[in-house]
Chain A
Amino acid sequence: MSAAGRWMNRLLFLFRRSRFEAELREEMEFHREQIEEEFRSDGTAGSEAHRRAAIQFGNTTRLRERSHDVVAFRWETVVQDVRYAVRQMTHSPGFAITAILMLALGIGASVTIFAFVDAALLKPLPYQQPDRLMDVTESLALFPRGNLSYQDYLDWKRLNTVFTSLEIYTGSGYLLQTPEGTEAVPGVRVSAGFFRTLGVTPVEGRDFRPAEDAVSEAPVGLLSYATWQKRFGGRKDVIGRTLKLSGVPTTIVGVLPPDFQFAPRGTAEFFTTAQPTNGCEKRRSCHNLYGIGRLKDGVTVAAALAEMKGIAQQLERQYPDSNRGQGASVMPLARAITGDVRPILFVLLGGAALLLLIACVNVSNLLLVRAEKRRQEMAVRGALGASRVRLARQYVTEGLVLVLVGTAAGIAVATVMMRVLHAMISKQMLAGMPYLQGMGLTSHVWGFTVTVALLAAGLFSIAPILRLPVAALRQSLSDGGRSGGSTFWRRLGANLVIVEVAIAVVLLSGAGLLSKSLWKMLHIDLGFESDHIATLSVDLSERGFEKDIQRAQFAQSLLDRIQSLPGVQSVGLTTTLPVSCNCNTDWVRFVGKPYNGIHNEVNNREVSAAFFQTLRAKLVRGRLFTQSDDATHPKVVLVNESLAKKYFPGEDPIGKKIGDTELTPNSLREIVGVVSDIKDSALDAEEWPAEYEAFAQDPSHYFSLLVRTSPRPESMLPALSAAVRALNPEVGVEDQTTLEQRIHDSPSAWLHRSAAWLMGGFAGIAFLLSMIGLYGTISYSVSQRKREIGVRMALGAQRATIHNMILREAGRLSCFGIVAGVGCSIAAASLMGSLLFGVRAWDVATLAAVVVLLAAASLLACYLPSRRAATVNPVEALRAE
């Protein structure tokens, strides 16, 4: 018969259930009576005949149940089981609430972290076939992923056979005249085929036409959807309008879709064509771009990388002056974008998984204890005709109900935690991680949740089923379940506690190492005093500031003006603020030193005369800049100690000259002083050699002010911005903040801080759970061994002996747990690699602290039950039997 037919019959049965039962009962009763009649006619007495007929017919209840199972839908008995399971839970609310809370925490934490992983690592790119998109750049020994030079890009595009298209982008900013004044808005310059390569089509207007990025074309731009709404009220007539972006008339040709995002520059409002107009793009040695390529079908990343490396070598031979050491890097775009959050997410996912494990272990332990207590109940049910499968199913159902409620609570916890964590990410960081917008209970996250729930349900069903009285059914009934605690359970429960303690050690030491890393990182020697410094960035428009002297004069009058403000102690400027990155580097050569064409990359910053005084950086030798170090005087340069050590070991660098790779006469500058290292790079990066040029001798369009103030620096920010605007209203002012805030919010600090906090949270919960687990196990063991303790005491054991006996048992468990945990944490910490800063995986202090903490806590957790054991009244304990 077909499955559908069977299903129909079952459905019919559902409606005629009482009739079915009555008929079955009638039929079976008739049968039994007939057998009894047979016995009676053979001469068996009445009651004996009845008994033997019952034996011959079999257990009517069980047979009815089996018949019922044949025709009924499974879920009918499942409903019974569920009802029973819920009743069980409401009977012992303490157990239910504890178990559900633990599950909610475990599942909540892991689902939250998984949601982040999902958003960041599994689907970070909202583009067409994102796995075929590659990040394509040049590479140097020092910069595995460097920038691409425009000239090299043109050759790469022409020569490669692995990409269907190869496009470029570079971050940019524009000055926009708005009713509120000049505003600096972020943007991106892209090549014409950029959006076609990503597979993104504008919702309004059109995409860039091929070759529209040529110098001969009129400048055109696309708007982000948010900008279209915010600045232009979503009006369609914006298409075709011409805006002045930093003074350049640019025609808006389209609007990007609302869900479009570009993580490398998440806040970008305008996307313009990258016409190679600036000086850098004409020079092959100047690198300012990133490439994005779409792999041809069937081409692997490795094959693409190999080909691009080949092309780079060819260019190196062709242009030895500019391309020496310039290799190629090809990696999936998703990896390039999420590279810095990857390790922290993996570590946190591991932490959350361990927390989930500890929660599950704890709940299974609880279930085991309960199964032990319910042995008698199960034995009675078995005797009344419940089959073993039926009893096992009861446990499975109870596990499922528990997990269902726990998962629902866990999802609620996760929803809240996701919001909280999302809100904790700074705006600046969020802009760099637009993929987090898609975070939430997506299908991936649901899939993960269901998998976790099913695994947990499996664990929770198997644990008590192991305790099902199988052979010992009758024995269990007869001894009333009052036997001494069974060794089987005690061993399993105890082993689980060891696992819990070990996990707690791993999480606690992980959290300890991350916190120590954070502390070390925030307390490294910056080489300057970061307090009481306000900063803001100034962006000069192209028009009116074409000449060096115009920019130098503007900067000087701005510095003078701010210096005269009340509350300002000193003011300096730099092209790149401290604690940014090893970036904006210069490829240098030293006069009088052998040169073989290798890259001498040094951080390069143009700073004003008072920059070092304002930061209170230390001058090691020579002199600082003065007002007279301007365009009319010979070029001078200051170097940091790292540079002096690396390039002038055992020599006095003062008076030596630095130049470009050709030693062009007008590039030559004389070293006039050595300053102690200022942290130019990110907090967790290695400090590089650096040179500081005099701003007045090489003034740029963009610089940042550093103002040391007497009052709180935050309070000075409005006055500082106003001072810049008062001097020239067409100048852009942005990123007003304090230096301390900037360091606090810097990506490396943020990453380490969130890792430390989250791991700390996980470790705290895990610590609590493991101690609850230990306490529960010892308590239970004591209650099970009451009779044994009673006997011992009746035979003359001292209370202290009993006390010690229990404590020894507990001590053994936590010792094993701690020892195993220490081993595991060293292994786990070495996996954290890049997240550790200034701390080794086997940091003795951290491990020792964790061991002491856990040992003390476990002593406390065991003290209470052991005291209870010692106060057992032997008479009562024995009479209870």
Chain B
Amino acid sequence: MSRKADLMPGTLDMMILKTLTRGPLHGYAIAQSIRQMSDEVLTVEEGSLYPALQRLLLEAWVKAEWKRTPSNRRVRVYTLTVAGRKQLGVELSRFEQMVAAIGRVMRDVEVEG
């Protein structure tokens, strides 16, 4: 079993929100989407989506409703709310700052090394 790439803490929420900007999705679809978009690098323990989704629901950043799939299975579909979109902006800029900061640190190391 290959080692999974660990997620930076707090990034899962952000990725879910980002994924949902493309439209309402159910949990499995969100997981698939994250997996594909990251070229299979980020294979999180997919079940951990659900506690995260509960947290987002509680904060009212997403809302959920039950729908039927074409194969007539009941699925819970999550939709981004206005507040969620705003939150995504906040988290994105925070994330970018952090990435930039880490980038600067790592570059310095390279030069010296």
Binding site for B on A (CB under 8 A): 1, 5-6, 9-10, 23-24, 26-28, 30-32, 34-35, 55-60, 63-64, 66-67, 69-71
> For the complex, what is the distance from the CA of A34 to the CA of B35, rounded to whole Å?
14
Contacts of B1 in A (CB 8 A): 55
Contacts of A26 in B (CB 8 A): 74
Within 8 Å of chain A (Cβ to Cβ): is B76?
Answer: yes
> For the complex, what is the distance from the CA of A31 to the CA of B29, rounded to whole Å?
9
Determine how close the nearest CB of chain A comes to the CB of B80; give it in whole angstroms.
15
> For the complex, what is the distance from the CA of A822 to the CA of B54, rounded to whole Å?
61
Pairs A–B under 8 Å by Cβ, sample size 30: A1-B83, A9-B57, A10-B58, A23-B76, A24-B54, A26-B74, A27-B26, A27-B76, A28-B27, A30-B26, A30-B73, A30-B75, A31-B47, A34-B28, A35-B28, A35-B46, A55-B1, A56-B43, A57-B45, A57-B46, A57-B47, A58-B45, A58-B48, A63-B47, A63-B48, A67-B50, A70-B51, A70-B55, A70-B58, A71-B57
> For the complex, what is the distance from the CA of A35 to the CA of B44, rounded to whole Å?
13
Within 8 Å of chain A (Cβ to Cβ): is B20?
Answer: no
Q: Which of A10, A31, A66 has the most CB of B within 10 A?
A: A31
Q: Are A27 and B27 in contact (CB under 8 A)?
A: yes
Q: Are A59 and B51 in contact (CB under 8 A)?
A: no
Determine how close the nearest CB of chain A comes to the CB of B52; give it in whole angstroms.
8
Q: Are A31 and B31 in contact (CB under 8 A)?
A: yes
Query: Ordered nearest first, which 3 A-B pairs have the shortest CB separation?
Result: A58-B47, A58-B45, A66-B51
Of the residues A1, A24, A55, contact of B60 by C-beta under 8 Å? A1
Instruction: Find the B residue at minimum CB distance from A55.
Output: B1
Contacts of A56 in B (CB 8 A): 43, 45-46
Residue tally, chain B, CB below 8 Å to A = 25
> For the complex, what is the distance from the CA of A35 to the CA of B47, rounded to whole Å?
11
Instruction: Find the A residue at minimum CB distance from B55.
Output: A70
> For the complex, what is the distance from the CA of A175 to the CA of B85, rounded to whole Å?
91
Contacts of B66 in A (CB 8 A): 23
> For the complex, what is the distance from the CA of A35 to the CA of B26, rounded to whole Å?
14
> For the complex, what is the distance from the CA of A748 to the CA of B113, rounded to whole Å?
81
Instruction: Find the A residue at minimum CB distance from B87.
Output: A1
Instruction: Find the B residue at minimum CB distance from A65.
Output: B51
Determine how close the nearest CB of chain A comes to the CB of B35; give it in whole angstroms.
10
> For the complex, what is the distance from the CA of A629 to the CA of B43, rounded to whole Å?
115
Determine how close the nearest CB of chain B comes to the CB of A664; give it in whole angstroms.
96
Binding site for A on B (CB under 8 A): 1, 26-28, 31, 43, 45-51, 54-55, 57-60, 66, 73-76, 83
Instruction: Find the A residue at minimum CB distance from B60.
Output: A1
Question: Given A1-B59, A31-B27, are A63 and B76 neighbors across the interface (CB < 8 Å)?
Answer: no
Q: Which of A23, A58, A59 has the most CB of B within 10 A?
A: A58
Tell me the dominant secondary structure on chain A's binding face. helix
Determine how close the nearest CB of chain A comes to the CB of B65; give it in whole angstroms.
11
Contacts of B83 in A (CB 8 A): 1
Q: Are B59 and A59 in contact (CB under 8 A)?
A: no
Q: Are A70 and B47 in contact (CB under 8 A)?
A: no
> For the complex, what is the distance from the CA of A27 to the CA of B78, rounded to whole Å?
12
> For the complex, what is the distance from the CA of A6 to the CA of B47, rounded to whole Å?
23
Determine how close the nearest CB of chain A comes to the CB of B9; give it in whole angstroms.
15
Q: Are A60 and B75 in contact (CB under 8 A)?
A: no
> For the complex, what is the distance from the CA of A28 to the CA of B28, rounded to whole Å?
9
> For the complex, what is the distance from the CA of A32 to the CA of B27, rounded to whole Å?
10
Q: Are B59 and A58 in contact (CB under 8 A)?
A: no
> For the complex, what is the distance from the CA of A57 to the CA of B27, rounded to whole Å?
12
Of the residues B43, B48, B75, contact of A27 by C-beta under 8 Å? B75
Contacts of B47 in A (CB 8 A): 28, 31-32, 57-60, 63
> For the complex, what is the distance from the CA of A31 to the CA of B50, rounded to whole Å?
10
> For the complex, what is the distance from the CA of A1 to the CA of B87, rounded to whole Å?
11
Contacts of B73 in A (CB 8 A): 30
Contacts of B45 in A (CB 8 A): 56-58
Question: Given A60-B47, A63-B50, are A71 and B74 neighbors across the interface (CB < 8 Å)?
Answer: no
Determine how close the nearest CB of chain A comes to the CB of B113; give it in whole angstroms.
33
> For the complex, what is the distance from the CA of A69 to the CA of B50, rounded to whole Å?
12
Instruction: Find the A residue at minimum CB distance from B50.
Output: A67
Of the residues B26, B49, B58, B76, contact of A71 by C-beta under 8 Å? B58
> For the complex, what is the distance from the CA of A63 to the CA of B52, rounded to whole Å?
10
Contacts of A58 in B (CB 8 A): 45-48
Q: Are B60 and A5 in contact (CB under 8 A)?
A: yes
Question: Given A30-B28, A57-B46, A58-B46, are A63 and B59 neighbors across the interface (CB < 8 Å)?
Answer: no
> For the complex, what is the distance from the CA of A67 to the CA of B43, rounded to whole Å?
20
Instruction: Find the A residue at minimum CB distance from B69.
Output: A30
> For the complex, what is the distance from the CA of A60 to the CA of B26, rounded to whole Å?
18
Determine how close the nearest CB of chain A comes to the CB of B96; give it in whole angstroms.
24
> For the complex, what is the distance from the CA of A352 to the CA of B52, rounded to whole Å?
51
> For the complex, what is the distance from the CA of A60 to the CA of B50, rounded to whole Å?
10
Contacts of A23 in B (CB 8 A): 66, 76
Contacts of A35 in B (CB 8 A): 28, 46
Q: Are B54 and A70 in contact (CB under 8 A)?
A: yes
Contacts of B55 in A (CB 8 A): 70
> For the complex, what is the distance from the CA of A289 to the CA of B64, rounded to whole Å?
84
Contacts of A6 in B (CB 8 A): 58-59
Determine how close the nearest CB of chain A comes to the CB of B67; give it in whole angstroms.
12
> For the complex, what is the distance from the CA of A453 to the CA of B75, rounded to whole Å?
50
Contacts of A69 in B (CB 8 A): 51
> For the complex, what is the distance from the CA of A479 to the CA of B55, rounded to whole Å?
40
Instruction: Find the B residue at minimum CB distance from A34.
Output: B28
> For the complex, what is the distance from the CA of A77 to the CA of B48, rounded to whole Å?
20
> For the complex, what is the distance from the CA of A70 to the CA of B54, rounded to whole Å?
7
Contacts of A57 in B (CB 8 A): 45-47
Question: Given A58-B45, A70-B58, are A63 and B27 neighbors across the interface (CB < 8 Å)?
Answer: no
> For the complex, what is the distance from the CA of A649 to the CA of B110, rounded to whole Å?
97
Q: Which of A35, A56, A69 has the most CB of B within 10 A?
A: A56
> For the complex, what is the distance from the CA of A23 to the CA of B48, rounded to whole Å?
16
Given contacts A28-B27, A30-B26, list 6 more A-B pairs with CB under 8 A. Answer: A26-B74, A57-B45, A58-B47, A63-B47, A66-B48, A67-B54
> For the complex, what is the distance from the CA of A10 to the CA of B48, rounded to whole Å?
20
Q: Are B74 and A24 in contact (CB under 8 A)?
A: no
Q: Are B28 and A31 in contact (CB under 8 A)?
A: yes
Determine how close the nearest CB of chain A comes to the CB of B31; give it in whole angstroms.
7
> For the complex, what is the distance from the CA of A26 to the CA of B27, rounded to whole Å?
11
